[in-house]
Structure 1
Amino acid sequence: MELNQIEQRIIGVLLEKEITTPDQYPLSLNSLTTGCNQKSNREPVLELSEAEVLDAIDGLIAKRIVVRDEAVSGRVDKYRHRFCNTEFGDLQFSEQQLAIVCVLLLRGPQTPGELRSRTNRLANFAQVSEVEQVLQDLQQQSLTQQLPRQPGKRESRYQHLFISSTEAELVSAGAEPLAESDLNSLLEEVQQLKQELAKIKQHLGL
């Protein structure tokens, strides 16, 4: 399953709010946008418009990952995920697995220690070793990956793999996943270079 940056944020917010504020779930477009732009427990902090969020929602609906609850009696439409733990879905997570995936979607690469402290509203981990075991279980399902340890750091970080194949290759090489805008810019530059190289070869008769 490939998700761009905004799609990752939307799914993370829906997972989080379903657990922490069940009385407000499913979420309206306004609530979902507010959750996406929230300054706490988000990395990076985004400033998305409702139009941008709605475009991403439409894409997720097309992928059958999000469902729209149609408005009744003049009320606003609301949205809920079908990302995991649904009757016919492939992804079935335990409470601890769901908590870790949720926070990785919201905050990107993190250490087991960071994940333990940041999942306290979603699940209970008695010690860091429990987090590490869950991460290993998810890694065996090709849903997370351990990143090379950064210089001067005691713990390695883990990254979810609900990303494009290009980003996954960068993760395997130890690089940070790029923001979608940066990745698109890089791919455009590569395409331009290929076109220029083809022109040079044609000019030289190669």
Structure 2
Amino acid sequence: MIARPLTLIEARVLGTLMEKARTVPDTYPLSLNLVVTGCNQKTSREPVMNVTEAQAQEALDDLKALNLVFESHGSRVARYEHNFQRAIGVPEQSAVLLGLLLLRGPQTAGELRINTERWYRFADISSVEGFLDELAERPEDKGGALVARLPRTPGTREDRWAQLLCGPVALDAGSTSSGTSAAPPDGQEARIAALEAGLAALRATVERLCAELGVSPAGPEDAAAHATNPASEET
């Protein structure tokens, strides 16, 4: 149970620590440099991020305050390890699923079973689904649900699951990431704004010209009526 939803960078840092503890134990706990490298991997990450050392350090400090991370002592370089299972109160299998969802975003039970191979080997998909159901039905006195089943998108045959550690999930069919609804591609909002501004300027020009000529601008309905009955204006 945590006091507040995690930010996207906090989720990436925490997921990275959870992953490396299981996949590369020889280099764990991680230094700040290794945390940043793990956060910015181009593979096994959705979305790909570019976390700076300052951002990673801030996230680590905030995660320490939430009791989700602690700093190891006895080394010249500060090293960090997660405290996820103890802080949240979930078994290994559930922690593995949540860690993968933190790093890779919403996934189906089948995808989770494949992607967790290096972390933990589930016997079958039904085993994955069983732990997901437990996380989704977690009682309020233990902190409430930690995952949510997303509505099936057109053309898909399996439900996807999303983690709730970053807050509520947008449960619309177009949702692509936990905690937020689908965001427009880079620059799309600016292009839309520019088109709207251009259209407004064009409309203003047409209205000015019509005013100078002493005619009224025809709207879509007027234009359609004229197209179907052009003789009406001649009588």
TM more than 0.5:
yes
Residues 71 and 30 of structure 1: is their aligned pair in 2 closer, same or farther, counting only changes over 3 Å? Answer: farther
How far the C-alpha of 1:126 sits from its partner, in A, is 2.6
Between structure 1 and structure 2, the one with the greater Rg is 2
Aligned to 2:90: 92
1:12 touches 1:105 (CA, 8 Å); kept in 2?
Answer: yes
- Quote the Cα distance in structure 2 between the aligned partners of 1:119 and 1:162: 19
Aligned to 2:130: 133
Aligned to 1:195: none
How far the C-alpha of 1:96 sits from its partner, in A, is 2.1
How far the C-alpha of 1:69 sits from its partner, in A, is 1.9
TM-score between the two structures when normalised by the length of structure 2:
0.68
- Quote the Cα distance in structure 2 between the aligned partners of 1:17 and 1:115: 17
Q: Which amino acid aligns with 1:91?
A: G
1:96 touches 1:123 (CA, 8 Å); kept in 2?
Answer: yes
1:144 touches 1:159 (CA, 8 Å); kept in 2?
Answer: yes
Aligned to 2:121: 124
Percentage of identical aligned residues: 42
TM-score between the two structures when normalised by the length of structure 1:
0.77
Residue 114 of structure 1: which of 104, 107, 111 is its match? 111
How far the C-alpha of 1:90 sits from its partner, in A, is 4.3
- Quote the Cα distance in structure 2 between the aligned partners of 1:106 and 1:90: 17
Q: Secondary structure at the match of 2:119?
A: coil
Unaligned 5+ runs, structure 2: 139-144, 184-235
**1:58-114 Cα distance to aligned partner (Å, 9 max, x none):** 111222221112454xx2100111121x3xx34232x32222111001011011111
Residue 80, structure 1, aligned to residue 81, structure 2: yes
Q: Secondary structure at the match of 1:171?
A: coil
- Quote the Cα distance in structure 1 between the aligned partners of 2:45 and 2:151: 23
Unaligned 5+ runs, structure 1: 183-206
Aligned residue-pair number? 171
Aligned to 2:210: none
How far the C-alpha of 1:132 sits from its partner, in A, is 1.2
Aligned to 1:52: 55
RMSD: 1.9
1:96 touches 1:124 (CA, 8 Å); kept in 2?
Answer: no
Relative contact order, CA 8 A, sep 6+: which one is greater? Answer: 1
Q: Secondary structure at the match of 1:13?
A: helix
Q: Secondary structure at the match of 1:116?
A: helix
Aligned ranges 1:157-172 → 2 under 5 Å = 157-164=160-167, 168=168, 170-172=169-171
Residues 138 and 178 of structure 1: is their aligned pair in 2 closer, same or farther, counting only changes over 3 Å? Answer: closer
Q: Which amino acid aligns with 2:129?
A: E
Q: Which runs of 4+ in 1 moved over 4 A?
A: none
Q: Which amino acid aligns with 1:92?
A: V
